[in-house]
Amino acid sequence: MLILGLDTTAVTASVALFDGERVIASSSVHNKLTHSEKLLPMIDEILKNSGYTIDDVELIGVSRGPGSFTGVRIGIATAKGLAFYKNTKIVGTSSILALAENFRFTTFDKFSEPVILCPAMDARRNELYNALFLYDGECIKRLTEDRPISLEELEAELVKENKKVYINGDGAEKLYNYLKEKNTPIDSVLASEIQLRQNAVSVAKLAYQSYLKNEYQTASQITPLYLRTSQAERVNNKER
């Protein structure tokens, strides 16, 4: 089975091909070009270079948020358009869960106790999009739902967990530096470069896991996950 993974929920745009056992190819760009300009060319290039066409794709995995409102919309719209083409099955994954999955890319040193995975996406207004996960080196267990949370509230939760914390996402440095500046009594680790940013490989793998459990949708059913209203919507609501 050929799975196409897409993630455009943050500054990084990422595309991957996965066959259920191995990663065939992946590509990520991290620059100031808009995702609307680069996503489709990235998809075309990765398919062509791997010897496939869009007709060969049997499942599409897309990160549905939270994250940048524009980025989420572009990813969802692109996935829907491709899925409508051949009525391809589609799976929407949490961008936060996909970030947690990134920690499987490298092997941790053996540890005696599970650690906390703390994906952190910059939500502005002194907040992060975040969830906490427990990781024992094999299984990732969700501890909280995806949510917007203040740095202060997240700090308190991490202190309460009293475990080593691994942080990734585009808000990782913001959180890591905050904890260090506050001298928070937490053993925190900033993710390595391969684990740090959105990666469509994780999205494709999560999509395949959902497919095996018959948890997939059609293009018309997939919806974005925003967690809160956009700045434009907040302004419009105030003007009414």
Examine domains 3-94+198-239 and 107-191 and report if their fold is the same: yes
Q: Which of the four pLDDT bands, split at 50, 70 and 90, describes residue 137?
A: confident
The confidence band for 138, taking pLDDT boundaries of 50, 70 and 90, is confident
Task: Give the Cα separation of 110 and 96 in Å (integer).
Answer: 24
Q: Domain 107-191 classified CATH 3.30.420.40?
A: yes
pLDDT in tens, 168-210: 999 999 999 999 999 999 999 999 988 999 999 999 999 999 9
Domain ranges of the chain: 3-94+198-239, 107-191
Amino acid at 110: K
pTM, full prediction: 0.93
Q: pLDDT, tens digit, for every residue of 156-172? A: 999 999 999 999 999 99
Q: What is the mean pLDDT of residues 104-117?
A: 76
pLDDT at res. 104: 87
CATH, domain range 3-94+198-239: 3.30.420.40
